[in-house]
Structure 1
Amino acid sequence: MPAPRHFPPAPAAADKTLLKAAILVSLALHLLVLASAGGLLPAINMPPLPHSTLQLTLLKTPPSAPPARADMLAQHHSDGGSPATAISNDDLVPTPPEKLQPRATLASRQAALTPVPSQQATPPDTRQHARLGAAAVGVSWAGYVENWRRRVESIGNRHYPAEARARGLYGSLELVVVLRDSGELMDVRIARSSGNPVLDQAAINIVRMGAPYPPFPAKLAQEYASLEVVRKWSFTTTHRLDGS
Structure 2
Amino acid sequence: MSFITNTNPFTITLPAAVIVHVAVIAGVGFGLPDAPKMQQAPLLDITLVNTHADKAPDKADFIAQANQKGSGTLNKKSRLSSPLASMNPNDLLGDSPIKSFESTPDVAPKPDPQLLTTKGKTNERINKLPEKEDIKDPKPVDKEMSDATDEIAQLMAEMSKDEQHYANRPRIHFIDSISAKSAVEAKYIDAWAKKLERIGNINFPKEALRLSLSGTLILNTTLDRAGRVVEIGIDSSSGSRILDKAALRIVKLASPYEPLPREIRAKYDQLNITRSIIFHREGGGEITFSTQ
TM-score (norm 2): 0.40
Choose 1 or 2 for highest CA Rg.
1
Q: Give the TM-score, by structure 1 length.
A: 0.47
